[in-house]
Amino acid sequence: MKFDFIIIGAGMAGLPCAIRAADRKKKVLLINKNKLIGGKLSRSTGQIAAAGTNIQKRQNIYDDPDLHLKEALEICKNTADHSLLRLAIDNLGDTVNWLEEIGVKFPENHPVITYQHDIYSTRRYLWPVGYGQEILDRILPIIFKHISFKNIKLLNETIIIDLVKNNNQIEGVTLLNKDNKKLSFYSNNIVLAAGGYTNNEELFAQYSPKSTLYTPKFNGSEGLVHKIAERYSFKVDGGHLYKGMIGGFLKKSFDNHSVSVSINTIPQDRQPWEIWVNIRGKRFMREDHPSADYRRHKVNEQEMQKFFIIFDEGILINAPSIAITNDGGLGGHINNDLQFRKYNSIIELAKDTKINYYNLSKTIDNYNYYVNKKNDIFGREHLPRKIIGPPFYCIESVAFALPSPAGIAVNEKLEVLNTNNIPVRNVYAAGEIIGNTRIMGEHYIAGMGVGPTLTFGKLLGETLE
């Protein structure tokens, strides 16, 4: 059976693609591995940066895509794919306007400037009142309407297992449904939107061999399509640029998929009272450095992309909570979390965490000296009090992945490229499957994960014939 579109993956990229194609009366086959559609939308904060939106215009914020592109390139130090960044940025305004049209509400004070990532010069960063879930809530009725009008045929709990190739050309897909039945369908527009591979440690190690994967658990990011892409010699790259985000810790020791994003490491929100040390017991950076990118890169340079936040009873009592969520602050976490531990002495702390004791005690002595002198060797400005304890506390913090770094290469028409950089006829890709580093390079650009994912899916739905 032939469809105008076959879309693999009903998540943040696949759903707008399906809607916009169906709006044009195209016949769409939408395939989804998970039981429910939505992918990671319900987990994401839905943060988007967009220039020239109606929201900005209503608030008299002057902005345009050229300025956005210039700043994005500066933030990523020109390490992203220039033409894809341009494509995304030129269309992000339309995406936000479309979200408003379908009923997504943004907070009244948005867009904003936030310090989670290196900042733009103007207010172009926003997210829905109800985060990613709100986008999903507005999208679902439209999808179900199209299903009822038979513009979209949805197959949940079905995976793509192969491509159909005839006369050297890809013409369709082979699927496996929940009853273990193989099905083949055909289309000139096969859109790969099956998300990432953060649930596949082997693939992560293959694409980013120098990094350790820490991530929140998400079923549906197994990288199955990446494997198919490799079999057909599609180009998959970008993993070497990976840099994990900071502010995470493991809810369960030794479970790298139990990351909780809950430590506030943003000095503009909360100045650090603690010191950050690596496994060798040494400080490695200015903890209150104003650049998010600087802090992230320094943490990623540490062994296993891990560091330890050390403080004492005096800091616990006097400092504002280091937790992002207001759920009882530090004390609440100490009782509940293995990675947030309490010790009677530094020697006990070092022994348990495997931090080098000799270096750690010297680091603390040196830090206390800098606090006295009000002059830190790393240039740290916020030096509120010494670490003298006991008890002493330690949070083991990791740099983690949200979107997958590597992905299937595409050109500015979102056509999939083979290993010789030649477009693969009939095959397109959008979303996390193209790899986060393609759009951001080696440096995180605010709002350029969710924004381009929605935008590229939507664009394919609007333009492919």
Nearest-approach distance from CB 438 to ligand FAD, in angstroms: 12
* Residue appearing with tokens 């990675």: 339
Orientation of helix 14-23 relative to helix 450-463, angle to 10°:
30
Q: Please identify, using beta-carbon distances, which residue of 322 and 430 lies nearer to ligand FAD.
A: 430
Nearer Cβ to ligand FAD, position 244 or 403?
403
Cα–Cα distances in angstroms (integers) from residue 275 to residues 98, 207, 385, in the given order: 45, 32, 11
Q: How far is the CB of 244 from ligand FAD (least distance, A)?
A: 13
305: DSSP letter: G
Report d(CA 270, CA 169) in Å as an integer: 56
Find the shortest distance in angstroms from Cβ 152 to ligand FAD: 15
Report the residue number, 17 or 355, with the smaller CB distance to ligand FAD.
17
In this structure, what is the dihedral angle of CA atoms 11, 17, 20, 24, given to the nearest 10 degrees?
A: -130
CB of 251 to ligand FAD, least distance (A): 13
Q: Which is nearer to ligand FAD, 228 or 355 (CB)?
A: 228
Q: What are the residues binding ligand FAD (CB under 6 A)?
A: 8-14, 31-34, 39-41, 43-45, 47, 159-160, 193-195, 216, 218, 220-221, 224-225, 402-403, 431-433, 449-450, 453
Query: Rounded to the nearest whole angstrom, what is the least distance from the CB of residue 429 to ligand FAD in the complex?
Result: 9
Q: Which is nearer to ligand FAD, 96 or 224 (CB)?
A: 224
Specify the residue, 41 or 394, whose C-beta has the smaller distance to ligand FAD: 41
Surface-to-core class of residue 157, CB atoms within 10 Å of its CB (0-12 exposed, 13-18 middle, 19+ buried): middle
The distance of closest approach from Cβ of residue 338 to ligand FAD in the complex, given in angstroms and rounded to an integer, is 20
Shortest Å distance, C-beta 222 to ligand FAD = 6
Backbone angles phi, psi at 434, to 5 degrees: -85, -5
Q: Is the CB of 61 or the CB of 161 nearer to ligand FAD?
A: 161
| Phi then psi dihedrals of residue 192, to 5 deg | -85, 110
Q: What are the phi and psi torsion angles at 360 (to 5°)?
A: -65, -45
Indicate the burial class of 342 (C-beta count within 10 angstroms; 0-12, 13-18, 19 or more).
middle
* Closer of 34 and 114 to ligand FAD (Cβ): 34
Q: Which is nearer to ligand FAD, 154 or 315 (CB)?
A: 154
Closest CA to 132 of 91, 90, 104, 97: 104
Q: Of how many residues is the chain composed?
A: 465
Residue 328: half-sphere exposure toward Cβ, Cα within 13 Å: 7
- Least distance between ligand FAD and beta carbon 217 (Å): 8
CB of 256 to ligand FAD, least distance (A): 14
Could you give the CA distance from residue 89 to residue 201 in angstroms, rounded to a whole number?
32
How many CA atoms lie within 13 Å of 198's alpha carbon, on the beta-carbon side? 25
Dihedral of the alpha carbons of 310, 312, 314, 320, in degrees to the nearest 10: 40
CA separation (Å) from 57 to 54, 66, 90, 108, 271?
Answer: 5, 16, 16, 13, 34
Residue at token pair 């999208």: 139
